[in-house]
């Protein structure tokens, strides 16, 4: 079962599961016009009923409240989806002996590190989004008995709003753009993350993992390369975080250590410039 199957990551998970020959039950909210079952994960009765009916071997939760700035003024709503709803899924999976595969975020850390974050490093979210995602992690660890959590960062791909497509679109309309250069992280390509989630489940993975495409870069580096590969000619200029204030604080350093995940998978994530080439060739 794939929760959030109409989204960017959920759609990739569905496609890759089907390609591997699995039967897949797809749910989505509120987009129900592409054949998905309508499911609100904050509706405990509906979640319990559907999981009990389907009895899936694995449940991939690709749904989330991902509006980082919006969560600052709507933390209660974000917490219902990212926290309470995830706890409901965890309970339903425990009752039906289903593996729960859940996607979390680098925002559970404080962004003040000087070396890549390991899975075991202390968490200290600085935003409403990070706090609500951490609640989801904690509920899974408290409730579920068979689970995988994969933290990721800077996700992009086809079929959903993301930084790459936004910046390339803006670059076609403007002669120059300023992009923040003092925030470091790692882009993650949705098809690669989908492969990671499925492979971890197939290989009997359990517990917490980190996954992203390296190497570390700034948003400025990422934007400049995306515009270049897409064939754009807009001048991308660096700026500081202070020049670009946002409602939610962005982490200055958000690089994840993925080595343990790569060892479990038996393969290493592609460099993000290579994934950009793939993205613009699709």
207-210 β-sheet, strand order: 37-38, 26-28, 2-3, 58-61, 99-105, 147-152, 207-210
**Most distant pair of Cα atoms in the chain: their distance:** 56
Task: Kindly name the residue from 129, 189, 209, 253 that is annotated as catalytic.
Answer: 129
Query: CA 73, CA 64: separation in Å to the nearest integer?
Result: 16
- Start-to-end C-alpha separation, the chain: 26
Q: Which of 162, 153, 141 is nearest to 211 (CA)?
A: 153
Active site residue 253: no
Q: Is 156 helix (H, G, I), strand (E, B) or coil?
A: strand
Cβ within 8 Å of residue 264, ≥6 positions away: 200, 203, 205, 209
CA 278 to CA 275: how far, in whole Å? 5
Query: Catalytic residue numbers?
Result: 129
């Amino acid at each position: 079962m794939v929760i959030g199957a109409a989204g960017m990551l959920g759609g990739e998970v569905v496609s890759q599961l089907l390609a591997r020959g699995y039967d897949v039950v797809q749910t989505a909210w509120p987009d129900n016009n592409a054949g998905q079952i309508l499911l609100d994960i904050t509706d405990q009765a509906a979640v319990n009923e559907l999981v009990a009916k389907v009895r899936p071997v694995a449940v991939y939760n690709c749904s989330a409240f991902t509006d980082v700035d919006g969560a600052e003024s709507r933390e209660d709503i974000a917490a219902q989806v990212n926290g309470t709803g995830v706890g409901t899924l965890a309970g339903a999976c425990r009752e039906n002996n289903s593996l729960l595969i859940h996607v979390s975020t680098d925002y559970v850390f404080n962004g003040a590190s000087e070396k890549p974050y390991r899975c075991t490093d202390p968490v200290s979210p600085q935003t409403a989004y990070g706090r609500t995602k951490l609640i989801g992690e904690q509920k899974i660890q408290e409730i579920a008995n068979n689970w995988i959590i994969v933290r990721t960062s800077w996700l992009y791909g086809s079929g959903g709003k993301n930084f790459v497509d936004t910046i390339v679109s803006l670059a076609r309309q403007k002669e120059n753009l300023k992009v923040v250069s003092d925030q470091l992280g790692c882009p993650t390509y949705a098809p690669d993350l989908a492969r990671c989630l499925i492979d971890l489940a197939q290989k009997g993975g359990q517990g917490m993992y980190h996954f992203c495409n390296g190497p570390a870069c700034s948003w400025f580096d990422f934007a400049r390369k995306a515009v270049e590969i897409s064939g754009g000619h807009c001048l991308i200029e660096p700026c500081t975080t202070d020049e670009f204030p946002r409602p939610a604080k962005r982490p200055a350093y958000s690089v994840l250590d993925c080595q343990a995940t790569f060892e479990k998978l038996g393969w290493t994530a592609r460099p993000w410039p290579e994934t950009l080439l793939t993205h613009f060739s699709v």
